Amino acid sequence: MIFIKSPSEIDKIRASCRIIGELLDALGSKVVPGVSTLELDAFAEDFILSRGGRPAFKGYTVPGLKPFPGTLCTSLNSGIVHGIPSREAVLREGDIIGIDVGVVKDGYYGDAARSYAVGKISADAENLLDVTRKSLQLGISAALPGNRVGDVSHAIGSYVGRMGYYVADNLTGHGVGRALHEEPMIPNSGTAGRGPRLKAGMTLAIEPMVNIGTNRVRESGWEFFAADGSLSAHFEHTILVTDSQPEILTLA
């Protein structure tokens, strides 16, 4: 079932999402050569707690894996999503890193991600970030009342394909708000006009994950990688479907 949130619920989701938007902005100046992903994680946890939220990923469980240990998911280069922050993972000039974060406050959740350049990056990497960011904008623009989930999926996937890149298999966006993951699943490719209909009051995490070289993924515990080792990028916002244009909630 897809929940329609009440105005008071939306206010609480908005508060969690604002912390995320501010954190992702603040991380921009922290993502530099020489810093470890564990240091970024510690900064993020302090930031969230100081604003009255709690990290939503930390302790998250799925069958067969240990609870997720981080506040952030930090996915470097060919990492797609769910990278575990580590003292050993030290950023180097030319890397790209996807940082994904969830926050819960007063029982309501938000979720967003951004891929960052570490220092100066290659033109190929820059283009991947541009295309992935733009695909998210196109997906959000399709989240109109009366449209269907497939319209969002199609907007993302068709653009990524036209640009010569690949949407990562089997990794999707999702409803969010009362829980970190709710219905509907929001695939990053699909057929326009198919799937559940969108209605005002739905809160959705739309999150294209785009690889340069292949759609195939390789899993290692929590972590997902592009199967060919090519670069991967990830951008995500939590948005509110309204009676007119969607509202992006995970902005500062």
Distance, CA of 229 to CA of 214 (rounded, Å): 9
Q: 104 vs 205, which CB is nearer to Mg ion? A: 205
Stated as kind and residue range, the H or E segment containing 159 is helix 149-162
| Residue 115, beta-bridge partner list | 98
Distance, CA of 153 to CA of 172 (rounded, Å): 9
Which part of the chain contacts Mg ion (CB under 5 A), choosing from 24-32, 55-63, 103-111, 127-135? 103-111
Work out whether 182 is an interface residue with Mg ion (CB under 5 A): no
Q: In 10 A of CB 67, how many CB atoms?
A: 11
Q: 31 vs 136, which CB is nearer to Mg ion? A: 136
Q: 111 vs 121, which CB is nearer to Mg ion? A: 111
# of chain residues touching Mg ion (CB under 5 A): 2
Q: 95 vs 111, which CB is nearer to Mg ion? A: 111
Distance, CA of 117 to CA of 126 (rounded, Å): 8
Q: 103 vs 227, which CB is nearer to Mg ion? A: 103
For the CB of residue 208, give the shortest distance to Mg ion in the complex, in Å: 11
Residues 105-144 that bind Mg ion (CB under 5 A): 111
Work out whether 101 is an interface residue with Mg ion (CB under 5 A): no
Residues 185-224 that bind Mg ion (CB under 5 A): 205
Work out whether 152 is an interface residue with Mg ion (CB under 5 A): no
Q: In sequence order, what are the residues at sequence separation of 6 or more whose Cβ sits closer than 8 angstroms to the Cβ of residue 168? A: 80, 81, 188, 209, 210, 211, 215, 217, 224, 226, 232
For the CB of residue 235, give the shortest distance to Mg ion in the complex, in Å: 11
Phi-psi region of 177 (alpha: psi -120 to 50; beta: other; left: phi over 0): left
Burial (CB < 10 A; 0-12, 13-18, 19+), residue 91, is buried
Strands 54-55 and 173-175 turn out to be unpaired
For the CB of residue 33, give the shortest distance to Mg ion in the complex, in Å: 28
For the CB of residue 236, give the shortest distance to Mg ion in the complex, in Å: 5
For the CB of residue 101, give the shortest distance to Mg ion in the complex, in Å: 10
Residues 28-57 that bind Mg ion (CB under 5 A): none
For the CB of residue 90, give the shortest distance to Mg ion in the complex, in Å: 26
The residues binding Mg ion (CB under 5 A) are 111, 205
